[in-house]
């Protein structure tokens, strides 16, 4: 369904709940279409997954999580608290329902459907960043290949197979295999343990926290207000839509967008969005360097992403299916250090800082939820998994178009929240 505000016609005002990359991008593109916007977040700008991620704008690596090998790996790691993919034993029935649905989607047909659904997002996502830059979002995006590094060519085979599968599904990714000497040209940090590489061309990276704050400043400069409080409900009230605080106070507008990341289902389920969104938590930290890091490095064998960041290297990894608000587990960070230490040299591990854990919003079928709900005037945007930063600005552009015209773009059909 297209979704229109209760009053009918294009909305003149909107409330965006969530001040991460997806919510703020939606706010910005709504403003482009003449909509007055208020942004609400329970803790402020870029305090969730938008701050501590690896900062990759990487359409060439936007690979759905629900690959069959992930299910096999997850089952093997159930008892291992330090495995890159960790599924803890828990009494949470909602998590086990989600994992059952995820397991049912860990098959090639579902994976391929997610890849094909993502094709329009991958094709246009960089252009959406360029639009924001051209209109004054004052944070750089840096063009650089992402170099995947391996201990042997045999270990590189899995990524090369994934890239071939992407090509078979319609997404050609420009890449090149690298010898050990060629690898060191792109990854001077590589230890002798790394002997081969795959260079993924046409990618970019950013400082994600700085970028999202720059986007927030642009949204405010265009007339928006950013308010800090927790929303407990969103309702259609006659000709308007309102968001409700725990103290009973409300804020009203013609439309409401729920873009609360891993917490999306708490509000979206009340509007007949049955696709569950759960937290796939990632950890990151920053390490000082003794030698330069000219670009991002991907270590598929240990599922770790490394990015130049404020003169050091941001090291990010793991996928932990645990409550979004649960405290950090220091063992997870220690495990990242121990897995990367043998393969990268020149990092001062004991001086690491900015240790962070954040919840990435994951759906069981590898496709986000973007569009109208059953409640007139209420929309959702989230569930991008590890690729919310890559797809966030384009998601905002496409959803703003749907909200103001009443019709979703063809590229949003596979992401229907009511599927």
Q: How do the domains of the chain map onto residue ranges? A: 13-415
% of the chain surpassing 90 pLDDT: 84
Closest residue by Cα to residue 307 from 187, 223, 221: 187
pLDDT of 238 reads: 82
Beta strands per DSSP E along 265-384 = 278-287, 297-299, 304-309, 312-321, 353-362, 369-372, 378-382
Cβ-based neighbour number of residue 342 at 10 Å: 13
pLDDT of 79 reads: 59
**Cβ–Cβ under 8 Å, residues 158 and 73:** no
Please tell me what DSSP assigns to residue 212.
H
pLDDT of 237 reads: 83
pLDDT band at 1 (very low <50, low <70, confident <90, very high): very low
Side-chain-facing half-sphere of 153: CA atoms under 13 Å: 5
Summarize the confidence of residues 123-143 as an average pLDDT: 96
Q: What is the pTM of this model?
A: 0.93
pLDDT of 94 reads: 86
For residue 213, give the 3-state DSSP assignment: helix
pLDDT of 81 reads: 65
Q: Any residues with CB less than 8 A from the CB of 222 and at least 6 apart, and which?
A: 28, 31
> Hey, what's the torsion of the CAs at 150, 152, 153, 154, to 10 degrees?
-110
pLDDT band at 398 (very low <50, low <70, confident <90, very high): very high
Q: Any residues with CB less than 8 A from the CB of 272 and at least 6 apart, and which?
A: 373, 374, 375, 418
Q: Any residues with CB less than 8 A from the CB of 316 and at least 6 apart, and which?
A: 52, 53, 54, 282, 283, 284, 304, 305, 306, 307
User: In this structure, what token pair is assigned to residue 395?
Assistant: 């998601």
pLDDT of 159 reads: 95
Between 385 and 72, the more confident residue is 385
**Cβ–Cβ under 8 Å, residues 215 and 28:** yes
Summarize the confidence of residues 271-287 as an average pLDDT: 96
Lowest mean pLDDT among 28-37, 90-99, 308-317: 90-99
Query: What span, in angstroms and rounded, lies between the C-alpha atoms of 215 and 25?
Result: 8
Write the pLDDT tens digit of every residue in 176-196: 999 999 999 999 999 999 999
Beta strands per DSSP E along 152-303 = 175-178, 196-200, 204-205, 225-228, 231-237, 240-245, 250-253, 255-258, 278-287, 297-299
pLDDT band at 48 (very low <50, low <70, confident <90, very high): confident
Whether residue 40 is predicted with pLDDT greater than 80 in this model: the reply is yes
Burial of 328 (0-12, 13-18, 19+ CB in 10 A): middle
Token pair 């360097």 is found at 289
Summarize the confidence of residues 53-76 as an average pLDDT: 86
pLDDT of 3 reads: 59
Summarize the confidence of residues 297-305 as an average pLDDT: 95
pLDDT band at 239 (very low <50, low <70, confident <90, very high): confident
Helix (H) or strand (E) holding 128: helix 108-134
Q: Could you tell me where the DSSP H helices lie in 223-275?
A: 264-268
**Cβ–Cβ under 8 Å, residues 262 and 359:** yes
Average pLDDT, the chain: 93
Q: Any residues with CB less than 8 A from the CB of 7 and at least 6 apart, and which?
A: 239, 240, 254
pLDDT of 76 reads: 62
Whether residue 216 is predicted with pLDDT greater than 80 in this model: the reply is yes
CA angle 95, 96, 102 (to 5 degrees): 90
User: In this structure, what token pair is assigned to residue 215?
Assistant: 């986007």
pLDDT of 380 reads: 98
pLDDT of 96 reads: 86
Whether residue 234 is predicted with pLDDT greater than 60 in this model: the reply is yes
Write the pLDDT tens digit of every residue in 157-171: 999 999 999 999 999
% of the chain surpassing 70 pLDDT: 94
Positive or negative: CA dihedral 26, 29, 35, 36 = positive
> Per CATH, is 13-415 categorized as 2.40.160.20?
no
User: In this structure, what token pair is assigned to residue 345?
Assistant: 């040299």
Burial of 120 (0-12, 13-18, 19+ CB in 10 A): middle
Report the side by side order of strands in the sheet with 56-57: 56-57, 204-205, 142-143
**Cβ–Cβ under 8 Å, residues 14 and 36:** yes
Whether residue 7 is predicted with pLDDT greater than 60 in this model: the reply is no
Whether residue 55 is predicted with pLDDT greater than 70 in this model: the reply is yes
């Amino acid at each position: 369904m297209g979704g229109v505000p209760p009053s009918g016609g294009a909305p003149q005002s909107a409330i965006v709940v969530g001040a991460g990359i997806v919510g703020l991008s939606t706010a910005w593109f709504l403003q482009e279409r003449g909509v007055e916007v208020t942004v609400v977040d329970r803790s402020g700008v870029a305090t969730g997954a938008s701050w501590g991620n690896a900062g990759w704008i990487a359409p060439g690596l936007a690979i759905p999580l629900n690959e069959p090998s992930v299910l096999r790996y997850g089952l093997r790691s159930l008892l291992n608290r330090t495995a890159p993919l960790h599924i803890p034993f828990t009494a949470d029935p909602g998590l086990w329902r989600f994992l059952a649905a995820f397991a049912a989607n860990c098959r090639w047909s579902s994976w391929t459907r997610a890849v094909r659904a993502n094709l329009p997002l991958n094709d246009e996502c960089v252009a959406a960043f360029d639009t924001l830059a051209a209109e004054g979002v004052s944070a750089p995006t840096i063009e650089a290949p992402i170099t995947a590094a391996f201990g042997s060519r045999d270990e590189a085979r899995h990524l090369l197979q994934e890239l071939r599968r992407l090509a078979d599904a319609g997404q050609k990714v420009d890449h090149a295999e690298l010898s050990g000497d060629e690898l060191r040209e792109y990854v001077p940090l590589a230890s002798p343990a790394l002997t081969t590489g795959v260079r993924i061309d046409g990618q970019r990276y950013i400082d994600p926290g700085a970028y999202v704050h720059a986007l927030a400043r642009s949204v405010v400069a265009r007339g928006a207000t950013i308010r800090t409080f927790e929303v407990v409900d969103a309702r259609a009230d006659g000709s308007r839509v309102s968001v409700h605080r725990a103290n009973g106070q409300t804020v009203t507008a013609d439309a409401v967008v729920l873009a609360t990341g891993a917490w999306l289902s708490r509000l979206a389920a009340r509007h007949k969005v049955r696709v569950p969104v759960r937290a796939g938590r990632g950890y990151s930290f920053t390490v000082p360097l003794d030698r330069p890091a000219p670009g991002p490095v991907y270590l598929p064998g240990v599922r770790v992403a490394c990015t130049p960041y404020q003169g050091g290297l941001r090291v990010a990894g793991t996928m932990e299916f645990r409550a979004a608000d649960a405290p950090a587990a220091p063992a997870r960070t220690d495990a990242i250090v121990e897995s990367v230490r043998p393969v990268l040299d020149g990092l001062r591990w004991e001086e690491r800082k900015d240790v962070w854990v954040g919840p990435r919003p994951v759906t069981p079928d590898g496709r986000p939820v973007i569009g109208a709900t059953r409640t007139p005037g209420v929309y959702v945007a989230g569930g991008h998994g590890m690729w919310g930063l890559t797809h966030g600005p384009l998601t905002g552009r496409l959803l703003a178009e749907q909200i103001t015209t009443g019709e979703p773009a063809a590229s949003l059909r596979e992401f229907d929240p009511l599927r």
